[in-house]
Amino acid sequence: MVRECRGGRVYVVGAGPGDPELITVKGLRLIQQADVIVYDRLVAKELLDYAKPGAELIYAGKKPGAHTMTQEEINQLLLEKACEGKKVVRLHGGDPYVFGRGEEECIYLREHGVECEVVPGLTSAIAGAAYAGIPVTSRGIASSFAVATGREAPDKDRKMVHYGKIMKTVDTLVVVMGVGNLENIVREMLEEGVDPDLPVAIVEKATTPEQRVVAGRLRDIVEKARRAGVQPPALIIFGHTVELRDKLWRLS
Ligand code: SAH
């Protein structure tokens, strides 16, 4: 059904990695102007305090395995609010187009005749690593990096992420959504012949006051993570720049 939508517009906005101050100026301005804000679980809640009085705040967060709203429901909600002529902000943790499905939302909205604009955010994959003292590149140490999901969509019949092959091709690999699959990821790398001494760090709740880092090497990181009781959200960072952490870690 194609509806007539008058004046409504959706902004798919990145909220940044966790620290509320790491949103963009444009993202914050749109939050202040929005009639409706549809936000994710990993968005810094302090940002919602900037909403104008009377703005409608809708939680659309998803937990692994326990969906509050399906993606289809989120798409329909955004469309419905835009068709009411509202200025809608769809607020994502990190960057909307980095494992955020913000692009699916914009495509859906445009297919239904609604204007949709992206406002990028700092992805946790890069900014979270930085706050843990780990640059994704460094001259003479790492000239390339990749970001991969640690958990592929369950409906996919074909494996798309080959961790061992990636690690043999790029210098730094940041895995998001990987805590539950750490053991398999590490095993795949070792089977592919990646150096067991490769430095690895896990950064939990990056850029927040509860940020915690567990560091080790490929051969012992699974055990270290188990002992530390690592919980999502966390980044798993593989590569030699992890060792710069001693010089770069951030005083809180
Ligand atoms: N669009 C987001 C990523 C969404 S996928 C971005 O650009 O950052 C969700 C995953 O991102 C989490 O499972 C976790 O691996 C990672 N993540 C998001 N925020 C994080 C944070 N503050 N600390 C550590 N990892 C985080």
What pLDDT digit, counting tens, does each position of 87-118 carry?
999 999 999 999 999 999 999 999 999 999 99
Bridge pairing between strands 145-149 and 234-238: unpaired
Using CA atoms, how far apart are residues 156 and 171, in angstroms rounded to an integer? Answer: 27
CB 99 near ligand 1, within 6 Å? yes
Q: Using alpha carbons only, give the angle 25, 29, 34 rounded to the nearest 5 degrees.
A: 150
Q: Residue of the nearest CA to atom 16 in ligand 1? A: 176
Q: Is 252 a residue whose pLDDT tops 80?
A: no
CB 177 near ligand 1, within 6 Å? yes
pLDDT for the residue 5: 74
pLDDT for the residue 68: 79
**Are the beta carbons of 54 and 241 closer than 8 angstroms?**
no
Residue 154's pLDDT band (cuts 50, 70, 90)? low
Closest atom of ligand 1 to 177 CA is 13
Domains of the chain, earliest start first:
9-119 (3.40.1010.10), 124-248 (3.30.950.10)
Q: Residue of the nearest CA to atom 13 in ligand 1? A: 177
Nearest CA among 213, 161, 214 for reference residue 189: 161
Q: Tell me if the pTM is above 0.85.
A: yes
pLDDT for the residue 122: 98
**Are the beta carbons of 151 and 233 closer than 8 angstroms?**
no
For residues 206-220, give the mean pLDDT: 97
Quick: pLDDT tens for 171-193: 999 999 999 999 999 999 999 99
Nearest CA among 139, 230, 145, 219 for reference residue 181: 230
